[in-house]
Amino acid sequence: MSKKAETTICWLLLATCTAVLIQPGLAQLPPPLGILPSPISGLLPPRTPEVQQCWSALINIQGCIWEIYRSFFSAQFGNIGPDCCKAFATVNGNCWPKMFPLNPFFPPLLKDSCARFGAVAPAHK
């Protein structure tokens, strides 16, 4: 067999195995309101009472936490709705380091974005 034919057969075999072994991804809807995955430090509302209090204003607005997570991971702040911005404005400035310990610049950026709705968050302390 020629070298070219061997190479072609190897690539076809590799492509076939890859196609068979890779399972197609399934689109997933976000969980219903009030059902959040287990906490990941700095990313999801933890179960400690002090930090839960910080997240409480945001949890009560449908879709708000998901809007904030999308902004956090995409660095695009235009998708935050006015209700979420108003709720975000009620969060105490002392909560920011507890809520977003991995990115201390995120809360001020989100606050600036929310200013377009007239919702101004408390100053970061």
Q: Please tell me the pTM assigned to this model.
A: 0.54
pLDDT of residue 23: 57
**SS3 of residue 39 by DSSP:** coil
14 vs 41 pLDDT, higher one: 14
pLDDT of residue 39: 46
What are 44-87's pLDDT values in tens digits? Answer: 555 678 888 888 888 888 888 888 888 888 888 778 888 998 88
pLDDT of residue 55: 85
- Measured torsion, CA atoms of residues 48, 120, 60, 54, in degrees rounded to the nearest 10: 10
Left, alpha or beta for 101 (phi > 0: left; psi -120 to 50: alpha)? alpha
User: Range with the lowest mean pLDDT among 20-29, 53-62, 63-72, 98-107?
Assistant: 20-29
Does residue 30 carry a pLDDT above 80?
no
pLDDT of residue 124: 47
Q: Euclidean distance between the first and final Cα of the chain, in Å?
A: 73
